[in-house]
Chains A and B, each alone.
Chain A
Amino acid sequence: MGVGGLATSDMVLNIGPQHPATHGVLRLKIVLDGERIVSADPVIGYMHRGVDKLFEVRDYRQIIALTNRHDWLAAFGNELGIVLAVESMLGMEVPERAVWLRTLLAELNRVLSHLMFLGSYPLELGAITPVFYAFREREEIQAVMEEATGGRMHYMFNRVGGLREDVPAGWTGRVREALTAVRRRLPDLFSLVSGNDIVIARTRGVGVLDAATCAAYGVTGPIARASGLDLDLRRDQPYLAYAELFAPGGPGRVVTRSAGDCMARLEVLLEQLEVSLDLAQACLDRLETLPAGPVNQRLPKVLKVPEGEHYAVTENPLGFNGYLVVSRGEKTPWRCKLRSASFSNVQVLSEMLPGHLVSDMVAILGSMFFVVGDVDK
């Protein structure tokens, strides 16, 4: 079947593994009929490190150093999952101050991750300017993250039982300033992205994904919510201090859209950014009312986790991030399975891409918000 009855043959086109639109090493095998995509097949594994196996030969502190690396834009969220799993297996209670600090840092990390995609997505659509505005705000928040944790990407700040150490004096004040500055300047970024005619032309009605397909493929996070799948673990299965933040009257709310196209995904991200800033602000206010106290528990020299298994899942910036820890009473897990958000989010590409033009592929790929390290694990 060809265009206008002319005899054409399908062409197989490889996008990646080294292609700027895949920001990372994702390869897409695309079968084309003219400019239209007939079928698409994401080929993954170019960055496979076998973390599941690496976890098995490391103790629970060393694992944190690894977990913080698969989704390198959300290191704090990743660390959180594994320590929450271990804490619940140990039946360990975390000091209240640590819970609120963790929530605050997790939300700051979410802001960082969202800003990254809000900068890089327009870049893929051909708009070079927004990324500079996104990075200016990122730098503001990254500075306070670095001051507390010592790292710019791999924070290594969680420990089983709390945090590594308390935050420096005056830090909360500087977080407040950073949040105010980001909030004040966000309209700059929004004015470049939302409502822009070119962005609308490239994204509206492109790459429509319905809620049923999302559920079938295990797509979660902002992408699923843009398709109308009202699912957010912070509200539905609250961990840390989210039960209080997402309670009626609290600052937390779940952002959803129903269109399911690239535009909707971008809008969800933009709005979630504001929600996360509100949540971070609420955490700061709450921290001020808390009494002084420790941020961690005293641990034994050799930390052994009792026999059993536990699945802990958290809402990372890109979707569900889960760890299934199976312990046989050793100081290393017997098995530790990682469920990463981007892995599922990328699988759905084979459903989404057919029928679209090659030029729309870049717009769709960019709107799927994935991190290749999180895909390949």
Chain B
Amino acid sequence: MSLVKGLVTTMRTAFRRTTTKEYPDVRPELPPRSRGVIALLEENCTSCMLCARECPDWCIYIDSHKETIPAATPGGRERQRNVLDRFDIDFSLCMYCGICIEVCPFDALFWSPQFEYAEFDVRDLLHDKERLGVWMGTVPPPPALDVKAAEPAEIAAARRPPRGTGLVGP
């Protein structure tokens, strides 16, 4: 009878080792590309707003102000720089698409596989820049690429001869 066939499978499986990993006791091993939480390296951020603009559901909030740095040498020029006041990501809205990380021209945003930040109140899912900075500690190095992959753009660029060395003629 066909039902016995199924029961045989069940019996065989019953004596195999379990594949279930019991989560709180056994930590999952997540690959480095795993999209768990977004980490912010504040020093790299120039508050250019690209991430906030490109976000498909606009869940990144950035405030900044300009600060004037006095001239370093006498007679030099004053410089202005952006100071980040607020950098919040609302993880209750975030779609985890990773576009912000992709568009960041200064490598200020990173994915971390860390996922244990569930909250009882949805409002607590708004992470400010201090909390986003803490996640930096959990960011793994990116995995090496396949042997058949093209050279990463950074390495290819480094190999090219530098442009405009200022030397003209012999």
Question: Which of A62, A151, A292 is the one whose CB lies under 8 Å from B150?
Answer: A292
Give 11 new A-B contacts, CB below 8 A, not counting A62-B97, A147-B31, A295-B149.
Answer: A62-B99, A97-B148, A139-B19, A147-B33, A166-B148, A169-B143, A188-B13, A197-B1, A291-B148, A292-B147, A294-B149
For chain A, the count of residues having a C-beta within 8 Å of the partner chain is 45
Contacts of B5 in A (CB 8 A): 191, 195-196
Mark out the residues of chain A between 265 and 299 whose CB falls within 8 Å of any chain B CB in the assembled complex: 287, 290-295
Q: Are A154 and B95 in contact (CB under 8 A)?
A: yes
**Whole-angstrom distance between the Cβ of B48 and the nearest chain A Cβ:** 13
Question: Which of A62, A148, A188 is the one whose CB lies under 8 Å from B56?
Answer: A62
**Whole-angstrom distance between the Cβ of B101 and the nearest chain A Cβ:** 10
**Whole-angstrom distance between the Cβ of B19 and the nearest chain A Cβ:** 6
Mark out the residues of chain B between 79 and 134 whose CB falls within 8 Å of any chain A CB in the assembled complex: 95-99, 102, 111
**Whole-angstrom distance between the Cβ of A52 and the nearest chain B Cβ:** 15
A–B Cβ pairs within 8 angstroms, 26 of them: A61-B99, A62-B56, A62-B97, A65-B95, A129-B10, A136-B19, A146-B33, A148-B33, A150-B35, A154-B95, A154-B97, A156-B96, A166-B148, A167-B145, A168-B31, A168-B33, A188-B9, A188-B12, A191-B5, A192-B9, A197-B1, A197-B2, A198-B3, A293-B148, A295-B149, A295-B150
Does chain B have a CB within 8 A of A217? no
**Whole-angstrom distance between the Cβ of B21 and the nearest chain A Cβ:** 10
Q: Are B13 and A150 in contact (CB under 8 A)?
A: no
Query: What sequence of 0s and 1s flags, for each residue 138-164 of chain B, a beta carbon within 8 Å of any chain A beta carbon?
Result: 000001111111100000000000000
Q: How far is the CA of A294 from the CA of B147 in the complex (A)?
A: 11
Does chain B have a CB within 8 A of A149? yes
Does chain A have a CB within 8 A of B44? no
Q: Are B148 and A292 in contact (CB under 8 A)?
A: yes
Contacts of A58 in B (CB 8 A): 56
Contacts of A294 in B (CB 8 A): 149-150
Q: How far is the CA of A295 from the CA of B32 in the complex (A)?
A: 20
Does chain A have a CB within 8 A of B34? yes
Query: What sequence of 0s and 1s flags, for each residue 27-67 of chain A, a beta carbon within 8 Å of any chain B beta carbon?
Result: 00000000000000000000000000000001101101110
Does chain B have a CB within 8 A of A176? no
Q: How far is the CA of A168 from the CA of B141 in the complex (A)?
A: 12
Q: How far is the CA of A241 from the CA of B3 in the complex (A)?
A: 41
Given A188-B9, A195-B5, residue A169 in contact with residue B99 (CB < 8 A): no
Q: How far is the CA of A136 from the CA of B111 in the complex (A)?
A: 27
Given A167-B146, A168-B146, A292-B149, residue A65 in contact with residue B56 (CB < 8 A): yes
Question: Which of B3, B54, B98 is the one whose CB lies under 8 Å from A197?
Answer: B3
Does chain A have a CB within 8 A of B26? no
Q: Are B148 and A156 in contact (CB under 8 A)?
A: no
Given A150-B33, A166-B146, A188-B9, residue A65 in contact with residue B2 (CB < 8 A): no
Q: How far is the CA of A58 from the CA of B145 in the complex (A)?
A: 31
Does chain A have a CB within 8 A of B170? no
Contacts of B13 in A (CB 8 A): 133, 188
For chain B, the count of residues having a C-beta within 8 Å of the partner chain is 34
Does chain B have a CB within 8 A of A164? yes
Q: Are B96 and A287 in contact (CB under 8 A)?
A: no
**Whole-angstrom distance between the Cβ of A350 and the nearest chain B Cβ:** 34
* B3, B6, B32, B147: residue with the most chain A Cβ atoms closer than 10 Å: B6
**Whole-angstrom distance between the Cβ of A137 and the nearest chain B Cβ:** 10
Q: How far is the CA of A287 from the CA of B19 in the complex (A)?
A: 31
Does chain A have a CB within 8 A of B8? yes
Q: How far is the CA of A169 from the CA of B145 in the complex (A)?
A: 5
Does chain B have a CB within 8 A of A172? yes
**Whole-angstrom distance between the Cβ of B29 and the nearest chain A Cβ:** 9
Contacts of A156 in B (CB 8 A): 96-98
Q: Are A166 and B149 in contact (CB under 8 A)?
A: yes
Q: Are B111 and A150 in contact (CB under 8 A)?
A: yes
Q: Are B96 and A169 in contact (CB under 8 A)?
A: no
Q: Are B34 and A150 in contact (CB under 8 A)?
A: yes
| CB-CB nearest in chain A for B95 | A65
Q: How far is the CA of A131 from the CA of B118 in the complex (A)?
A: 28
Q: How far is the CA of A198 from the CA of B2 in the complex (A)?
A: 9
Question: Which of A150, A154, A165, A191 is the one whose CB lies under 8 Å from B6?
Answer: A191
* A133, A139, A166, A171: residue with the most chain B Cβ atoms closer than 10 Å: A166
Contacts of A154 in B (CB 8 A): 95-97
Contacts of A295 in B (CB 8 A): 149-150
